[in-house]
Amino acid sequence: MKAAAVVVATIASYAISLAIGVPALVPVFNTLASYPFMVLALRRGRPREAVALMIVWAVAMGGCATLVAYTEPWRAGALFLRGDAYRAEMFTWVMTGHGAESTPSQFIPQQAGHAALFIVLALGTAGALAMPMGAVLMNYMGTYVGSLAAASRHPGVAMLLGWHPWAVIRVLSFVGLGVVLSAPLLSRAVGFQVDWRFGRRVIGVAACGLVVDVALKAALAPAWQRLLLRISGW
């Protein structure tokens, strides 16, 4: 029931965002759809449930952003922060093989910066600003994937493969870090005991996930680009 409620609330956040049309408010509405569920689960001493619900939220955001971009690519690019820029960057990479996605010297510092900022925001704001940041990342990634599918000869396959496996691992790692690192400040605000044993395990798995993300991206991105180019039929 809670997972279904998160999905429904997330879908509603996109419906409201489309109706209002203010890009800066999209990640705010996205966060409001999920943050209370995370807080309630942590307050009840259920950190595993909190992580599971936030994974459901991330999947729901990815699906919604992708579908919006698939049905209305240019509207999605304008509505989702950095949507147009990221789509242009990734389309260039798919067409030419050139770009940060295949260049470790570019994507490693960028991803390290994103992770560092996310960690600081999760610790310093009890996740209240880390989650909107995560929503921005999910939405511009969804803009690329949905737009790629809309422009592809095989949209279903493109929609599936457009979510690169290393990006999925990164999203899951960010979710785990976001929940666990939000807990210390939240525990003081709403009153609960932090399960540090569980938290250390999640942080360890998430850290390994971020390393695997980089390794897979460095190893597979060139071949993945060629695969996407064939599927798109460009």
175, 156, 70, 220 alpha-carbon torsion, rounded to 10°: 50
HSE at residue 197, side-chain half, CA atoms within 13 A, is 2
CA dihedral sign, ordered 34, 37, 40, 42: negative
C-beta of residue 221 within 8 angstroms of C-beta of residue 214: no
* Averaged pLDDT score across all residues of the chain: 97
What's the CA gap between 90 and 225, in Å, rounded?
A: 10
pLDDT in tens, 29-78: 999 999 999 999 999 999 999 999 999 999 999 999 999 999 999 999 99
**Two structure tokens written together for 154:** 């095989």
Q: What is the pLDDT of residue 226?
A: 98
pLDDT bin (cut points 50, 70, 90) of residue 152 is very high
- Residue type for 139, please? N
The CA R_g of the chain, rounded to the nearest whole Å, is 18
- Supply the pTM of this predicted model: 0.97
pLDDT in tens, 75-119: 999 999 999 999 999 999 999 999 999 999 999 999 999 999 999
Count: domains in the chain: 1
Q: What is the mean pLDDT of residues 142-161?
A: 97
Count of beta carbons in the 10 Å neighbourhood of residue 111: 18
What's the CA gap between 139 and 77, in Å, rounded?
A: 9
What's the CA gap between 133 and 229, in Å, rounded?
A: 30
What's the CA gap between 183 and 30, in Å, rounded?
A: 20
**Distinct helix (H) and strand (E) counts, the chain:** 11, 0
Q: What is the pLDDT of residue 28?
A: 98
- Provide the domain limits for residue 119: 2-232
114 to 20, 41, 52, 119, 120: CA distances (angstroms) = 28, 26, 22, 9, 10
